[in-house]
Structure 1
Amino acid sequence: MEEREKLKEILKKRSYEEGDFVLSSGKKSSYYIDAKQTTLDPEGAYLCGKIFLRMIREAQKGVEAIGGPTLGADPIVTAVAVVSYLEGYPLSAFIVRKEPKGHGKGLWIEGDKALRPGMRVAVVEDVVTTGGSLLRAIEVCERFGLKVVQVLALIDREEEGREALRSKGYELEAIFKRSDLVG
């Protein structure tokens, strides 16, 4: 079975649920995608790492690191970093906090020692609804001096996220759209 199809099968089995839910955006939904059930699964994580790395390499944008907003991006960036190392194309991983650390150095970005101003990075999220988490992470990256050249998601819920990102000059590339998983 092809990698994308296998990942889709895992997502449908482990992450997709129907019911009444309130999303992190505050919106109500008749379905929920708990992508971490897939991205924390050994095979799901590996497949995410493989597919996202392929997307990064095929885009040829000179990406040197991958990061994203905690908590959704955490297992994804780790998977991509590990797979990238194993495939001889090592990318550094970083995580953008929701707020600066309240102690120590007060960091916004974990993994910052591998980063430098001007570095070309991809920013990733597990599920995009409004795009708010990605836009906040992108803003933090840009304040740090990073150049965000690629924006990725495991799943685009096909709501406002893609348009919100486009309005700020970013194109969202998603492995799956909600419509790929429903039905």
Structure 2
Amino acid sequence: MTSYASALLEQNHDVATRLRDLINQLAVEHGSFILSSGQQANFYVDMRPLTLHHEGSPLVGQLVLGMLDAAGIEFEAIGGLTMGADPVATAVLHTAAADDRAVDGYVVRKQPKGHGKGRQVEGPGIEGRKVVVVEDTSTTGGSAMQAVRAVREVGGDIQAVAVIVDRDTGAKEHIEAESGVPYLYAYSKTDLGLA
């Protein structure tokens, strides 16, 4: 597997290098962990301390937007399953806004809201719009696929699934086979020295 960031890291790109270092400092823990997929792992990547960090968030926005642009993905809205996707999408829409690009965000609830309008997808409407589903990290792709299904139910036109850290455990293959859209990731576990 080749990640987007690995190409930038080979060129010693400041954003990719600094973000990789921050991921290792703030988001990676070593030990024995059970993942949301039920799999056992000797490291855990909790991206929230990074994606909500004052320095990490802007770097996430720059890297994810750069990755999507480099892949030629055109989109009008970005979001995914709460809560891992929320700070990633927010970082991207702020980065886009700084470049005078109109990118909206959206949030996918784990379950439709039990009151009010009963929505599962919140934010500016995405029906008929080109959207990207994001996730902070992925093992099997289950969270991203839950978001894909919800977005398609409300008429969003998914262009890609984008992830910051891919654990190299089959998420890419699963998501591309089931969703029919490209799966992009910024860092593999190898890029982070976790292989």
Which TM class, normalised by the smaller chain length? over 0.9
Residue 177 of structure 1 corresponds to 188
TM-score between both structures, scaled by the size of structure 2: 0.89
**How many residues matched?**
181
Matches within 5 A, 1:49-64: 49-64=61-76
Shift of 1:103: 1.8
Residue 120 of structure 2 corresponds to 108
Matches within 5 A, 1:1-183: 2-111=14-123, 114-168=124-178, 169-182=180-193
The CA RMSD over aligned residues, in Å, is 1.2
Q: Which runs of 4+ in 1 moved over 3 A?
A: none
Given residue 50 of structure 1, which amino acid in structure 2 is its aligned partner? Answer: Q
TM-score between both structures, scaled by the size of structure 1: 0.94
Shift of 1:42: 1.2
Equivalent position SS for 2:55: helix
Query: Which piece of structure 1 moves more, 135-144 or 101-110?
Result: 101-110
Q: Counterparts of 1:120 and 1:132 in 2: how far apart (Å)? A: 21
Query: Which piece of structure 1 moves more, 161-170 or 74-83?
Result: 161-170
Shift of 1:106: 1.2
Which structure has more RCO (C-alpha within 8 Å, separation ≥ 6)? Answer: 2
Shift of 1:40: 0.6
Would the aligned equivalents of 2:159 and 2:182 in 1 still touch at CA under 8 Å?
no
Q: Counterparts of 1:159 and 1:71 in 2: how far apart (Å)? A: 21
Percent of residue pairs bearing the same amino acid type? 35
Q: Counterparts of 1:125 and 1:103 in 2: how far apart (Å)? A: 26
Shift of 1:28: 1.2
Given residue 136 of structure 2, which amino acid in structure 1 is its aligned partner? Answer: D
For structure 1, list consecutive stretches of 5 or more residues without a partner in the other structure: none
For structure 2, list consecutive stretches of 5 or more residues without a partner in the other structure: 1-12
